[in-house]
Structure 1
């Protein structure tokens, strides 16, 4: 296995630059997730590591070697795509062994690797089946098995769960997490789903418009987002923003020309209107059994959501006040969006 080092990586299509000097260190054995909205550059960055996109400038190193000019097949990486890309006329065994045969690997070694990967992924009973006789989750496990048998230094996953239904996404996500624990391999995983990022990653890389906004552990990004963009992207439901200057001893100051505050829905607590930091008019309740998502309209006309253990007793249209622990209130700069620590 090996780590990945990226230095001042840039990608341009003609005069349009889409990756803007990315610097990143991924440790050997680390599970790193690239996350961000559509068009942020996460798949482009992954494909540059794989060698499927040409690098305009900067370097990509795998282990101790710069691989800018190395062919994709020689980089020691294996990629799992959003589409399964299985050969429909071949059995599972032949799909998993095809790349090894092309590389002229001895038959005994091919057999050993395929059966070992099938056991890890619990698809041994399916080796003689064709892909059309498998479920979506089973097909994705075959695609992952095809990557495993190559014994790569780095695994690359490009939104591998996007084609699965909700239940299969959860199941396959757990299987990928267990696979990482068993193999101890370096894995880089692209997703637009921040729940996948939070549950899988050792380290999350949040991207926007071809730039890295923040790198950190899931809990780092949740508790100390670097800016308002990361604060709203990480967490579900997303963080609420209010035009309040500062909160001292539970009292909200008047709106500040320079800053605003953010509070996560799960950290807001109902209180009397005269002691509230923020208040809103009840619009809608999503009662989900375990908790309720309460939708409100603030005094300034802004929508916000509160996550409560029980639905409020107030009627639609009533005003409800909310407070929050001071250490759960985040302040951001209006001009730059950057976090204020003071």
Structure 2
């Protein structure tokens, strides 16, 4: 096993720079998730670590070895892709053994590694089947097994669940978490799904436009986002933002001061509480209710026409078009600079 160190890592395609000096430390055995919107550079960064993309500048070290000029096959990493990339004419066993045979590994050692990995992933009964006779979740487990048999220092996952349906995504996500707990190997996982990031990661790296916006544990990013971008990206539904014109005089009680014209307040939907008009921090006209059983998502509009969402235990007992007041605990309020987006 090994940790990773990235220093001033940059990537350009011609005159276009897509990664802008990334610095990151990943400890040995950590489960780190790269998350961000499409085009933020998370997969590019993963591929540079793997050796599948050249580095335009900076250094990548795995353990105590700089690997900028080391071939992908010699870096001690194993990658699981979005597509399963299984050989359709080979059995599961042969798919998992293929890379080891190419590396001239002894047959007895191949057999041991394949069977050990199959037991870990609970696919022992499928070793003689062909990929076409497996479900999507089973095929993904075979792809993960093919990575496990290489006994890598670092596992790299590039959106491995995106081809699965919702139920299989949850199941396979749990299997990957258990796999990390069992192997205790460094894992780097790329996703655009912040729920996957929150549930899997020891540490989350939020990326935007080829730059790191914030690094921290899931609860750190949720409780103390460094800026408005992170605040809206982490959490579902996303954080509401209000300007001073959206709020009532009660906001002074919550904030302990008047909100400045250059500031905006962030409030998570799950932290808003229905209250009477006098103590409300924000009022909203009821537009739509999504009743999801265990909770309701209440869509509202402020008097200034600003849309926001409240997450409540039960649907509100009022008609559409009625005005509802909400308050929030002071320690759950986030304040950001409007121009820079930085937390205040």
Scaled to the shorter chain, the TM-score interval is over 0.9
Deviation at 1:240, TM superposition (A): 0.4
Report the equivalent of 2:72.
72
Report the equivalent of 1:56.
56
Deviation at 1:302, TM superposition (A): 1.2
Structure 1 unpaired stretches of 5+:
none
Compare 190-199 and 269-278 and name the one that shifted more: 269-278
Aligned mates of 2:170, 2:69 — CA distance in 1? 38
Runs of 4+ deviating beyond 4 Å: 251-255
1:297 to 2:315 alignment: no
Report the equivalent of 1:103.
103
Deviation at 1:256, TM superposition (A): 2.2
Aligned mates of 1:65, 1:9 — CA distance in 2? 16
**Residues 230-269 of structure 1 aligned to structure 2 (within 5 Å):** 230-244=230-244, 247-250=251-254, 256-269=260-273
Deviation at 1:275, TM superposition (A): 1.6
Aligned mates of 1:308, 1:211 — CA distance in 2? 35
Deviation at 1:274, TM superposition (A): 2.3
Deviation at 1:247, TM superposition (A): 3.6
Report the equivalent of 1:32.
32
Contact kept in structure 2, 1:248 and 1:326, CA below 8 Å:
no
Deviation at 1:281, TM superposition (A): 0.4
Report the equivalent of 1:91.
91
Contact kept in structure 1, 2:255 and 2:330, CA below 8 Å:
no
**Residues 123-272 of structure 1 aligned to structure 2 (within 5 Å):** 123-244=123-244, 247-250=251-254, 256-272=260-276
TM-score of the pair, normalised by structure 2:
0.97
Report the equivalent of 1:277.
281
Aligned mates of 1:263, 1:155 — CA distance in 2? 36
Report the equivalent of 1:115.
115
Aligned mates of 1:134, 1:335 — CA distance in 2? 52
Aligned mates of 2:227, 2:49 — CA distance in 1? 27
Q: CA RMSD in A?
A: 1.2
TM-score of the pair, normalised by structure 1:
0.98
Contact kept in structure 1, 2:252 and 2:259, CA below 8 Å:
no
Deviation at 1:253, TM superposition (A): 6.3
Compare 117-126 and 239-248 and name the one that shifted more: 239-248
